Amino acid sequence: MLCGNVGWWQVLFEIIAVSILTLLLGLLLDVLVGDPDPNSPYAFYFKIHPTVLMGKYIALLEKHLKNPNPQREKLNGVFLGIATILTFALPTFLVLWALWTLLGAVNFWLGVIAYIIVGAVLVKFTVCIKLETDWAKAAAKAIDAKDIAEARKYAHFSRRDFTNLTGSQIGSGIIESMSENIIDFKYSPIIWYSFLGVTGAVAFRAINTLDGMVGFKDQGHLNTGWFSANLDHVVNFIPARLTGVLIIASAALLGKDWRNAWRIAKRDHMKTQSRNHGWPMAAMAGALNVQFEKPGKYILGDATETLDGSKILDALKIRDVSIVLCVLLFLPVLVLVRLFVFPF
């Protein structure tokens, strides 16, 4: 960096220390502060959340990319994906580069501190831990109290209609979505940060948001969303399978049925529409010895035990241990990458 006459080894140590601290502080910020609750969509914090802004940007841009020619519309979909990624990733890179290089040239420690603060805040916005935890605990309490009306308030966990679902079916939807979100809002941001820095984590969040906004196979998004859906599948391919493995490992550490988690993951991971999300969902069903059901779509696992509120809390414990395992697994990767390059 801009360290005057210090040795290269000291510069390298500072780069690695800053990178690790930025990641850990970003995760800690989310655990302590969390995201805005969609139940309060008019709250200022919700309106300016980067993921919300990404969604609005994608929706606005997509409206202008519709075309009666399917091939042209697919090409427009490529433009939509690339434009969205660059719109959010490029400013991230430039701001962090300026803080690290330009501000650091004026005052080394001022540049370091500014970089860590801004970088950690941006990392925080790429993950979601606290809000999911709060919803899960509230839903578990409502299900155990047989207050189905209250439990249905947490339908944000999945896109399914909870109107006519039972308590166990609501719990199923919640744990399924928690399992999916280990990939989308925990592992993938951590992994892409390890390789490509804060910019990589932000780029992933843009890709994942694109998939959530337009990556559907309905008539309205089949062409404009095909690129985004396939890109999301590619960047999540390894994280998804790693999630299944670390859920099994976490189950073993917590004394849960890890053997059954492995058995169900192998047996049922292909039953879901998503080629990625079936792995963590099936592994979680096996670890908890419960059955997940999306009516009319799929059934994962065996109904060996009752799916009640306690199973949601057990899923949270497995999720938390798996996040720690993921961080420990990829810290050496982060260090190795920084031996050769410092991605912003």
Summarised one tens digit per residue, pLDDT across range 39-51 is 665 566 667 788 9
Q: What integer is the mean pLDDT of 53-73?
A: 94
Which of the two residues, 16 and 190, has the higher pLDDT score? 190
User: pLDDT for 190-202, tens place per residue?
Assistant: 999 999 999 999 9
Distance (Å) of CA 238 to CA 65, 243, 316, 320, 332: 31, 9, 22, 20, 17
In a domain, 344, yes or no: no
How far apart are the C-alpha atoms of 152 and 164, rounded to whole Å? 10
Q: What integer is the mean pLDDT of 76-84?
A: 97
Task: Show the domain range for 193.
Answer: 8-338
In a domain, 1, yes or no: no
- Residue positions counted in the chain: 344
pTM here?
0.93
The answer to whether 282 and 268 are in contact (CB under 8 A) is: yes
Longest dimension (CA), the chain: 69
| Local confidence band at 37 (pLDDT 50, 70, 90 cut-offs) | confident
- Percent of the chain at pLDDT > 90 equals 76
Q: What integer is the mean pLDDT of 256-262?
A: 98
Residue 4, pLDDT above cutoff 60:
no
Residue 33, pLDDT above cutoff 60:
yes
In a domain, 26, yes or no: yes
| Local confidence band at 8 (pLDDT 50, 70, 90 cut-offs) | low
User: pLDDT for 86-108, tens place per residue?
Assistant: 999 999 999 999 999 999 889 98
Mean of all residue pLDDT scores within the chain: 92
Q: Which amino acid is at 29?
A: L
| H or E segment to which residue 292 belongs | strand 292-294
In a domain, 3, yes or no: no
Q: What is the pLDDT of residue 155?
A: 67
Count of structural domains, the chain: 1
Q: What is the pLDDT of residue 167?
A: 87
Residue 60, pLDDT above cutoff 90:
yes
Residue 63 structure tokens: 């409206």
Q: Which amino acid is at 93?
A: F
In a domain, 148, yes or no: yes
- Percent of the chain at pLDDT > 70 equals 93
| Local confidence band at 2 (pLDDT 50, 70, 90 cut-offs) | very low
In a domain, 23, yes or no: yes
In a domain, 2, yes or no: no
Q: What CA dihedral angle connects 86, 88, 94 and 97, to 10 degrees?
A: -120
User: pLDDT for 101-146, tens place per residue?
Assistant: 999 889 989 999 999 999 999 999 999 999 999 999 999 999 999 9
In a domain, 177, yes or no: yes
The answer to whether 55 and 213 are in contact (CB under 8 A) is: yes
Q: What is the pLDDT of residue 47?
A: 73
Residue 3, pLDDT above cutoff 60:
no
